[in-house]
Amino acid sequence: MNDKKQILAYENSMNDLYLQQVENKTWSHAAGVPERRKTDFSPLSGRISIGGDRPGEVVNYYIGPMHIDQDNLFVISWVAPAAAVFFKNMNTWQSKPVRVQRRFIQKARRLTNYADIWIGRPSGEPFPLLGDEVEQTPRPPKASPWLSKARARAGVHTTKPANDVIVEFSSLQGTEQEAPAATMEDLLRETLLRPRSLGLSSVLSTLQAEQYDLVTYSDDKSLVVQGHAGTGKTIVATHRAAWLVDENRAEALESVLLLGPTPAWEAHVSSAVSELSGGGKEIVVSSLHSLILKVLGFEPEIRPRPVDAARVPVGADALVREAALGARKSGKKGPTALGDFYHSFVTQLHLNGMSTELKDWAGDLPSTFNGARKDPLLWPLLAYMSTLIDPGEVFEHVIVDEAQDLTLFEWRVLEEMNAGSWTLVGDMQQRHSQQVKSWSDATSRITDTPWDERVMNDGYRTSQAIAEFAASLLSKSAGMRRASPLGRGISPRVINAAELRRTVEAIALEQCRRLASDHAEGTVAVITPHIEKVLREARISGWSAEDRWTWSDKELYRYSFLTPEEARGLEFDAVVVVEPSAFRANSGSDGKLYTSLTRANLELVVVHSGSMPAALERESARLARKNSS
């Protein structure tokens, strides 16, 4: 029986070989594209062992982001049909029995643990090492019909490495020697408990069957994914973008637009998209805020876009469209075209016969283009005008994360940029705007498009204690997500600053330091509508800013300081939420507060001096009684 050290050493040698082959393969077809480093690519995700064509014969192959087939390494891309065996835990594949699958945990492109999950009856070594393979499970001959078909369907060709790679696996320095994970849930729990980085990583090793089905959902239809906080919606969005354009897919798309709510989200997900992308096809990752500014030709800004924009009367978009398409016939383009059209639109006299509401709306618009461009609430309207007058880039598919908060004119801008189907992911319980209350309200804005709606109920990244605390803000009709593999975890801590005669800002920073020490390699964030007050306290305490969102203390621990709008779509090991009553005061609902509470994966602290929402007061009292008993 091979021990864990031998197995990990061998698997890491194969992973090194794989990463080298990926690097070579990418360079060979990415001429003119900035050179990518080996660290841009995800490592191997796992292995599958399937019964072969003859009695006693088995076929073993790896799963990874990219197809590789050379003498000692056969990797099937995660988008290939045969990869479904791995992600959906299938018992058979093309009438062949599945023996066992191995899933890896990785850190910094090294494999640090694994779980062997037997599908069939356990028999012998799950996967022999290279030296054992000839004796125990010989590599099937190249003429094997099953393997030939698998390769053909995968679209892979045998390649030789550009440079000789020597496979050595006699030792693995620095690998922890804990026992292999016993089950898939153990592996998932270990992965979720690992400290988060500031950027999202691909999760092919632990991508769940429910998530895989949504990622690989046919792009012939438009899809809406509703999911509670922590169910993996952003994972679905990012992996779906990579799947849609992957060159190994039979009907790969040429261009996909992946949109999220804020510039912080854009920075957060870009690393995962980079890890999964295999080369020449295009995924444009952007926040909706940045996209609107780009359309308008405005200078980039780090402020998040306003969510709850001014209400627009029915028919306003049609009015703008009719006028803009008329102006487009003139052929006038360039930087002055939008300003000229806006001026003519607000001064035109064709409003006779329109409703009073429409006339009032048009009459309330600034009389000059310069006045309109100074108001961020009007930028989506101006961007819609711009896309109609002077159409720009068009995509084959548009994916929107946190889509529940799209405003009418944002929908219209995206509609002009999308020549294909849609994928919308979000959570109506987290909506920051009150303009829509259901997905049917949102999708009805895109006419003549059939929508399939799917619901994600399985919780993953947020502990059950945090999820239940935040869910106290929701109505019972919202339902509850299923329990997380993280288990209950640490109960949320609620601190009343007024009782301690201290400021909420001072306590927030104190809790930051404690959390950073407890989660030394992880991520810690403070979220509050009054973030400037926390930043002022941080400056007084000698902390320094690294960028708009990231600060470090004197011990060089790093923290993210965010408003509720900036925190959307992000996740952290630990979060301090400051002054819950201020969230509702700014928005009129608990959507922003619910979102902020659920940004925490492992530990949550709430600091307040004023009253809290009644539901949180009750839940806090219940936790206090439980902890004191």
DSSP assignment string, 218-243? -TTSEEEEEE-TTS-HHHHHHHHHHH
CA distance 392 to 42: 33
CA distance 137 to 199: 40
39 is in an annotated binding site: no
CA distance 624 to 175: 41
CA distance 110 to 13: 10
φ/ψ (deg, to 5) at 100 = -160, 155
DSSP 555-608: T--EEEEE-HHHHTT--EEEEEEE-THHHHHHHSSSHHHHHHHTTEEEEEEEEE
Cβ partners under 8 Å of residue 319, min gap 6? 354, 358, 362
Question: Domains of the chain: which residue ranges?
Answer: 1-27+37-129, 190-197+209-455, 464-628
Give ∠ CA 544-549-553 in degrees, rounded to 5.
30
At residue 164, the pLDDT reads 35
600 is in an annotated binding site: no
b/e map 561-581, b = 16+ CB within 10 Å:
bbbbbbbbbbbbbbbbbbbbe
Cβ partners under 8 Å of residue 621, min gap 6? none
Beta-strand ranges (E) seen in 266-357 are: 282-287
The candidate with the shortest Cα–Cα distance to 110, out of 206, 243, 13, is 13
155 is in an annotated binding site: no
At residue 98, the pLDDT reads 93
Tokens of 413: 């801008």
User: Domain 190-197+209-455's class?
Assistant: alpha beta
Tokens of 37: 């480093």
At residue 146, the pLDDT reads 42
Cα 175–chain centre separation: 29
Give ∠ CA 66-67-71 in degrees, rounded to 5.
130
Tokens of 71: 């003498």
The candidate with the shortest Cα–Cα distance to 112, out of 231, 26, 37, 193, is 193
233 is in an annotated binding site: yes
At residue 543, the pLDDT reads 96
Tokens of 619: 């839940």
* Residue 268 identity: H
Answer yes or no: are the C-beta atoms of 204 and 63 closer than 8 Å: yes
Tally Cβ neighbours within 10 Å of residue 368.
Answer: 13
Beta-strand ranges (E) seen in 245-348 are: 255-260, 282-287
Identify the three-state secondary structure at position 103.
strand
Identify the three-state secondary structure at position 66.
coil
pLDDT per residue over 255-268, tens digit each?
999 999 988 888 88
Give ∠ CA 562-564-569 in degrees, rounded to 5.
90
CA distance 82 to 88: 11
Domains 190-197+209-455 and 464-628 share a fold: yes
- CATH superfamily of the domain spanning 464-628: P-loop containing nucleotide triphosphate hydrolases (3.40.50.300)
CA distance 218 to 503: 53
229 is in an annotated binding site: yes
At residue 225, the pLDDT reads 96
Tokens of 66: 């990219």
At residue 34, the pLDDT reads 43
Half-sphere exposure of 299 (CA within 13 A, CB side): 2
Identify the three-state secondary structure at position 333.
coil
φ/ψ (deg, to 5) at 544 = -130, 150
497 is in an annotated binding site: no
Low-confidence ranges of the chain (pLDDT < 50): 28-39, 131-147, 150, 153-177, 279-280
Identify the three-state secondary structure at position 316.
helix
CA distance 203 to 193: 14
Tally Cβ neighbours within 10 Å of residue 391.
Answer: 11
Look-up: residue for tokens 């609430």? 377
The candidate with the shortest Cα–Cα distance to 82, out of 156, 8, 16, is 156
CA distance 137 to 114: 20
Q: Where are the alpha helices (DSSP H) in 137-287?
A: 145-154, 184-193, 209-215, 233-245, 263-276
